[in-house]
Amino acid sequence: MLLIVWVDVMILENIIVNYFLLIITAQTLSIKLKNIRAIISSAAAGLYTLVIFYDKLKFFTILPIKLLVVILIIYGAFGKNKLIFILKSTLIYLLYTFVLAGLIFFLEYRNMGNPAYGYYENFNTKWLIIALMLLYIIIYRVFSFIISRRKLNNYTYNVEIFTKSSSFTVSALLDTGNELKEPITNLPVIIVEKSAVSDIDTSLYEKLYIPYKVVSGQASFLEAFKPEKVKISYDKDNFQYKNAVIGISDIKLSEFNEYQALLSRDII
């Protein structure tokens, strides 16, 4: 019996399945899944299935190598290198994989034992499940986008920064994890993209250097200056003037230019 396999279809199926498994694994672990990393890991997992067609690559189908591939998929998708997290997420991923495979196997053979199966012999349970996965992925992405936009709107403020010669306005996101303060004055720090202050002559101000530490533990200094005042608008008729320090960031704060500054939680 001649078995015809459409390699491109097989790879696409595996990409969809692996992406779905990564989504529900991330949801089980209550962590945010980075879309680009997840897609790349899913694509790599899909390409890995090609080893079954080459006798010289049969070595890559043995159990230890398969487990290593799963670990690499998990690491690539989540980017966390803590051993406990990798082992935990790998076990969850494998659990969902076995459950899904068992479900497909059960439905296929259950249908074959059904007297009405002859009327639906061209029906493929696998495609039904993949269609449901795609529907789940689409709904998940849409709801994630809506929730993200709602949170962004609720925590974004218009901030007008007054300098010695002029003023400029930026859209600022309230960063509840930002407790950065200028160590001498103890004033909260508003982190602003360098491009947003490019027209300001910061040489008119005393340069401040604020020590900070990122999540990875790396420490550095943030160049800053103290403006005349800062106006934070909560809505059209509700605003406050605050004293704060402006820290200049060399990196882009928002991928889609939704905001150009980060507010310290102590300033609101």
Range 232-268 burial, b when 16+ CB lie within 10 A, else e: beeeeeeeeebebbbbbbeeebeeeeebbbbbbeebe
Query: What is the average pLDDT across 165-186?
Result: 84
Query: What is the average pLDDT across 54-83?
Result: 85
Beta bridge partners of 246: 190, 225
Beta bridge partners of 268: none
Position 144 confidence tier, pLDDT thresholds 50, 70, 90? confident
Opening angle at CA 246, ends 245 and 248, nearest 5: 145
Domain ranges of the chain: 7-152, 155-267
pLDDT for 119 equals 45
Q: What is the pLDDT of residues 9-51, one digit of tens each?
A: 788 888 999 999 999 999 998 888 888 899 999 999 888 888 8
Which tokens sit at 233?
């608008």
Beta bridge partners of 225: 246
pLDDT for 110 equals 64
Which tokens sit at 205?
């101000």
Q: Is there a catalytic annotation at residue 175?
A: yes
Report the top-level CATH class of 155-267.
mainly beta
- pLDDT over 80 at 58, yes or no: no
Query: What is the average pLDDT across 109-138?
Result: 67
Q: Phi and psi at residue 88, in whole multiples of 5°? A: -65, -50
Query: What is the average pLDDT across 98-106?
Result: 82
Task: Count Cβ atoms within 10 A of the Cβ of residue 93 and give its class: 0-12 exposed, 13-18 middle, 19 or more buried.
Answer: buried
What percentage of the chain carries pLDDT values higher than 90? 15
Query: Which residue out of 8, 175, 199, 250 is catalytically annotated?
Result: 175
- pLDDT over 90 at 91, yes or no: yes
Listed in sequence order, the residues at least 6 apart from 125 whose beta carbon sits closer than 8 Å to its beta carbon are 104, 107, 108, 111
Contact 224, 170 (CB under 8 A): no
The C-alpha atoms of residue 77 and residue 75 are separated, in whole angstroms, by: 6
Contact 171, 182 (CB under 8 A): no
pLDDT for 116 equals 47
Q: What is the pLDDT of residues 229-268, one digit of tens each?
A: 899 988 777 888 888 899 888 888 887 788 889 988 878 7
